[in-house]
Amino acid sequence: MEKGGPVSIAYFGGSITEAPNGWREQSLTWLQRQYPKATLTHINAAIGGTGSDLGVFRLKQHVLVHKPDLVFVEFAVNDSGQQPEKIHKAMEGIVRQIWRQNRRTDICFVYTLNAPMAPALLARQMPNSVRAMEQIANQYGIPSVHMGLEVIRLDRQGKLVWGGKKEEHPDKLVFSPDKTHPYSDTGHRFYTEALTRALPPILAAGRPGSHVIPKPFVSDNWENAQMISVQELSRQGDWQEVTPTTDTVARLLKNRFSYLIKSNQPGALLQVKFRGTVAGLYDVIGPGCGQYAVTVDGAPAAAIPRFDSFATYYRSNYFFLPTLDDKSHTITLMVSPEPLDKAAILQKRNQTIKDPRRYAENACYASQLLILGQLEK
């Protein structure tokens, strides 16, 4: 950047990073002002509602294909419900994939927060997800920035409200409307200011050149995670490719999926044959979705609903099967004939079905297979 050359920066995270006019765009503007001669390329590789567990599988297609010079990694909030062991596997897999492609790529972990994480921080402790990520950062010598400590300081002083409408709290700063997704001029501004304060000392401490890859923190990390189009899978029954020009759902999610198939035929199958330990699917949840009946190696089928209490709209989603033994497996994903009680599911969040036609289908969608292992014929 100092030499005025082209620099590619990837922002890799969840909805807090994806948000328009948030810390992502604000920090990019700051960097451009600091280095006016540089040509900065911005990669928005954030997907709302996703954690590092999906991130490690989609990293190659969404980030590494752009050959970034710097990657900001933000998953602390979305990983807050995950076990530390899973965070270790995913975050270490992300780091090792990046440096396997190019050891000169710089990485910076950034930590956001929401109201449920505040008690730990107010007690001067790091939330569980941040602590797990810091263990990976320490192992690899990666700089990290907790961007929410000013928010905690203001909370401690009684000057900040975590959630609500700004006009309802004229004498205080309101962090966000929902205690998680910040307002641009308050929560996101605090994030940007924290990052821009931290970058100069990070730059002063660092040295240009290749990063050293140490021994793994956990031997079973997800460095070899793959995301493979379901075009590679065998199918039975009526599966149709849906595209933005022909289908409303595909059009709504065109920034998520380059390839998407759908079936509303009970009994329609997708079959996966692979050797490995982890398998999952990147797909869709929404009003017209039903559930999969998933069979592994002939065991009794497990129901995996693709509808939940937030399914008043369509969104990308994903699921993983329980960890498997490292051997060959056959997995079938069947469109289940068993209907869901959608009204009861929505009622959990006091939502009601206002237009039954939107909820009438019980379809399943599929875009990408997520595996730790190798496909077999």
Indicate the SS3 state at residue 145. Answer: strand
DSSP state of 281: E
Enter the pTM of the model. 0.95
Average pLDDT over residues 101-124: 97
Burial zone of 287 (CB within 10 Å; 0-12 exposed, 13-18 middle, 19+ buried) = buried
| pLDDT single digits (tens) 324-357 | 999 999 999 999 999 999 999 999 999 999 999 9
| Complete domains list, the chain, with CATH | 6-205 (3.40.50.1110), 225-375 (2.60.120.260)
Q: What is the mean pLDDT of the chain?
A: 97
Structure-block tokens of residue 209: 């050149």
Nearest Cα neighbor of 331 from 230, 184, 193, 200 is 230
pLDDT digits (tens, 9 = 90+) for 215-238: 999 999 999 999 999 999 999 999
Q: Among residues of the chain, what percentage have pLDDT more than 70? A: 100
